[in-house]
Amino acid sequence: MRENEAYQASCKERFFSEEENGVPIARAVLVDMEPKVINQTLSKAAQSGQWKYGQHACFCQKQGSGNNWAYGYSVHGPRHEESIMNIIRKEVEKCDSFSGFFIIMSMAGGTGSGLGAFVTQNLEDQYSNSLKMNQIIWPYGTGEVIVQNYNSILTLSHLYRSSDALLLHENDAIHKICAKLMNIKQISFSDINQVLAHQLGSVFQPTYSAESSFHYRRNPLGDLMEHLVPHPEFKMLSVRNIPHMSENSLAYTTFTWAGLLKHLRQMLISNAKMEEGIDRHVWPPLSGLPPLSKMSLNKDLHFNTSIANLVILRGKDVQSADVEGFKDPALYTSWLKPVNAFNVWKTQRAFSKYEKSAVLVSNSQFLVKPLDMIVGKAWNMFASKAYIHQYTKFGIEEEDFLDSFTSLEQVVASYCNL
């Protein structure tokens, strides 16, 4: 069927480059300072027989970063800069239509966070016209790494300068999804990664472009960024998707667009991470109120004010889905009208095993509280100079910490003043 071919062609063009003997190679570069994870990843992909990673698209060393951001940023970075950028350049040259980078990293450790920040900065220097979105794993609140808050604030503040958009996924939230929605008893990293992959897939799988519904969008990253993060102060994005359940439950559930969208909207305004346990007692404030009382009302009822939202709908009868609920001006900040702040992408083709699915990419106050908490904890540690010598040893001075605190406080304040 023509539609099938078009979809496949779009997927192929976007995610894979061509290969001689028919096996597509992913357009990806893997970087790690330890070999274990990369080897696992490579073999798992090759096992499927459907695609694989390029042999020369990996860079790894034997020695890690010891969960030290400074080591990743100031030692590994400059040392391996040339090799890593060379690999990246080769991949970029393979692209006919190159628009930007999607960088997946964590912020609690040393390599993902420090080296990731370093590489992103290099990309900004060498490919200044390209778009950059960093997908960042927000560590567990009770994580194992003592200095994870230091690593986090250093990562976030540096990325805020060199990246265009930060797509943040909280480990705690995903853990809950696995436990409550998927009913998994022993949650492994593999389960967490599956949920992540599902969320990312539901955003970045091909969608029809707005002009004609026979044409798959060729620059999803650019379109998404233009809708959500044009303002340099507001770059934090989060993803919420619905439905998300185990195969068993799926067999017994039917979905309507009205139901899905109502849930999704409530998730947005009550700052819920997933479908269950949504706070039903949060409503948007009355639009006639002056801004000051609006803010206090929000703070009391945990209302989540949005700057901009993008809803992506995939599945049967998608044209009939009514998204008017997301165009309520009460959901948004005063300086952006819903007509500019809200966008919806609809595609007939279903995603994964869900007959109908919806995902919301949101630039809103979702992450203000977690960010504020991390900054607070990091500040407390910093005030007592705990572990700082680990960082100054490798060139990250107290000044750099102070700069980071300042930038992030500014971000928190900007988001709070919506």
Partner 1 sequence: MGRRRQRVDPAAGARAGALPEAIAALSRSLPSGPSPEIFRRAKFDRPEATSALWQLLFRVLSPLPAGNALASLALEVQARLVKSALCSQGYPRLALAQLPEDGSQGSRELLLALSWLLARGPVPEQMLAQARVPLGDEMTVCQCEALASPGPPAPHMEAEGPVDVRHVQWLMGKLRFRWRQLVSSQQEQCALLSKIHLYTRGCHSDQSLSHLSVTEAEMLRDPEGGQQVSGAGAAQNLDLAYPKCLHSFCTPGMGPRTFWNDLWLVCEQPGLLPGDWAAPLDPGGASACSLLSPFRALLRTLERENQRLEAVLAWRRSELVFWRWMDTVLGTCAPEVPAAASQPTFLPWVPERGGGELDLVVRELQALEEELREAAERRRAAWEAKAGGCGRGPEWSAARRASREAVEKELGALQQCWERDGGPAQPHGPHRLVRREDGAAGDRDLRAAVVIRTLRSQEACLEAVLRRLQGQCRQELARLVGARPGLIWIPPPGR
Question: Would you say 248 and 129 are in contact if contact means Cβ atoms under 8 Å apart?
Answer: no
* Strand-pair category, 100-106 with 131-138: parallel
Q: Which stretch binds partner 1 (CB under 8 A): 20-28, 53-61, 95-103, 346-354?
A: 95-103
How far, in Å, CA of 18 to CA of 361, rounded?
30
Please, which residues bridge with residue 216 across strands? Answer: 208
Nearer to partner 1, 183 or 340 (CB): 340
Nearer to partner 1, 15 or 140 (CB): 15
Contacts (CB under 8 A) with partner 1, residues 178-217: 212, 214-216
How far, in Å, CA of 284 to CA of 301, rounded?
9
Contacts (CB under 8 A) with partner 1, residues 1-60: 2-3, 5-10, 12-13, 18
Q: Which stretch binds partner 1 (CB under 8 A): 147-155, 172-180, 186-194, 403-411?
A: 403-411
Question: Would you say 362 and 306 are in contact if contact means Cβ atoms under 8 Å apart?
Answer: yes
How far, in Å, CA of 107 to CA of 115, rounded?
10
166 HSE (CA, 13 A, CB side): 33
How far, in Å, CA of 177 to CA of 184, rounded?
9
CB 186 to partner 1: min, Å = 42
CB 156 to partner 1: min, Å = 13
Listed in order, strand segments (DSSP E) in 200-262 are 236-242
- Contact call for residue 397 and partner 1 (CB under 8 A): no
Helix axes 368-383, 398-416, angle to 10 degrees: 150
Nearer to partner 1, 9 or 258 (CB): 9
CB 13 to partner 1: min, Å = 5
**Of these, 327, 372, 403, 416, which contacts partner 1 (CB under 8 A)?**
403
Nearer to partner 1, 41 or 162 (CB): 162
**Of these, 108, 131, 137, 359, which contacts partner 1 (CB under 8 A)?**
131
How far, in Å, CA of 365 to CA of 418, rounded?
9
Q: Which residues bind partner 1 (CB under 8 A)?
A: 2-3, 5-10, 12-13, 18, 96-99, 129-131, 161, 212, 214-216, 218-219, 222, 225-226, 229-233, 334-336, 340, 403, 406-407, 410
